[in-house]
Chain A
Amino acid sequence: MDLTEPSIDRLRLKLRYKVLYHVGHNCADVDDLVQESLARFFRAEQRNQIRNTEEFGAFLNGVCRNVILEYRRRVRREPSIDPDMPIPDAGVRPEADILEMRDSIDHGLNELAERDRLILRALYLDGREKEDICKQWGMSDAQFRVVLFRAKERFRRVYGMEMKRTTAS
């Protein structure tokens, strides 16, 4: 298993995303939960407890899930002293994380045709099936693919910037 500094940073980033997805952006203990998950994962790795190191994601996911569950139980058991302290529950969308980089999102969809925008909205925001969308707009699979991947391409640059920002911090 690759445990070099860059790959650990990458794992930390992914775990942070998962934790935020479940506990919400208002939770003050996100970094502690990420760190605890990583620490338990490395301990298990040192003790050779990970059976399939090629497929370690599922193991790490289980570790992180347990850390989040334990945290939720603890928060519910111990009423907070500060009444304003948020109690994590179902979590908020991780898109809150994206607010920090709104400046760099740079509205990559500006030049997109209205039809393409509606198609993408149907997929990402309305949660509609591809078949349903293709039928409504009279498109083939190939045309749908073009719309989708052309739009995503515009955001790869933003993602690259996000990675640089994360690595720098």
Chain B
Amino acid sequence: MVCKKEPIEREQVIARYISRSLDSEAVEEFEGHYLGCDECFEEMRVSELLAADLKTSTLTWKQSGGVSVLRFKANAELTHSAQELDHLRKEVLEQSDSRVIIDLSRVTRIDSAGLGQLMSCYSHLVKNRGAMKMLNPAPEIKKLLDMTGLSTLIETYQDESEAVKSFNN
């Protein structure tokens, strides 16, 4: 039984369940257990919250006028090997929100992988009948977006409320 196990062992079962790496027999056993055990169910939900936060740890998210605003928590680089790129992909491509503003104010560098990712996000949202806007890029980032023509495709704003309003135009 899961809760009779040593706490770290139990946590490993929970972690595998959350990441879907338990085999089907073990999933059955664990579900049969937590349906009758409040303590293990609570532990699992708490672990799930923790795992969800780990996934989005470089981005904050908020709803503003029915639009999702994504903002980097600290200075970020949208470059080939940066984890921010992975988080951005997950946050935009794997979620159901279709109207998204990406705040670039803390982005200090973008390379071709980052530009490609912004394009993928934009295409994904447009395909899902949504839209994407960019907010507050630093002057050097703005210059890059202009040079590559990305800013003619994806609207860029300096003010968040204007960006939110633009979704209703």
Contact = CB atoms under 8 A, between A and B. Distances in A.
B54 A109 contact: yes
A60 interface: yes
A138 interface: no
Interface residues of A, number: 52
Nearest to B21: A127
B45 interface: yes
25 contacts: A10-B38, A17-B41, A21-B31, A57-B33, A58-B32, A58-B35, A58-B36, A61-B31, A61-B32, A64-B35, A95-B18, A96-B95, A99-B96, A103-B62, A105-B52, A107-B53, A120-B50, A124-B51, A125-B51, A129-B12, A130-B8, A148-B8, A155-B47, A159-B42, A162-B49
Nearest to B28: A61
Interface in B17-61: 18-21, 28, 31-38, 41-43, 45-57, 60-61
Interface of A: 10-11, 14-15, 17-18, 21, 25, 55-58, 60-62, 64-65, 93-96, 98-99, 102-103, 105, 107-110, 117, 120-121, 123-125, 127, 129-130, 141, 144-145, 148-149, 151-152, 154-156, 158-159, 162
A95 B11 CA distance: 17
Contacts of B47: 124, 152, 155
Interface residues of B, number: 42
Contacts of B45: 17, 159, 162
Contact of A57 (B15, B20, B36, B54): B36
Contacts of B143: none
Contact of B19 (A61, A124, A144, A151): A124
Chain A CB within 10 A, most for which of B21, B38, B45: B45
Interface string B50-86: 1111111100111100000000010000000000000
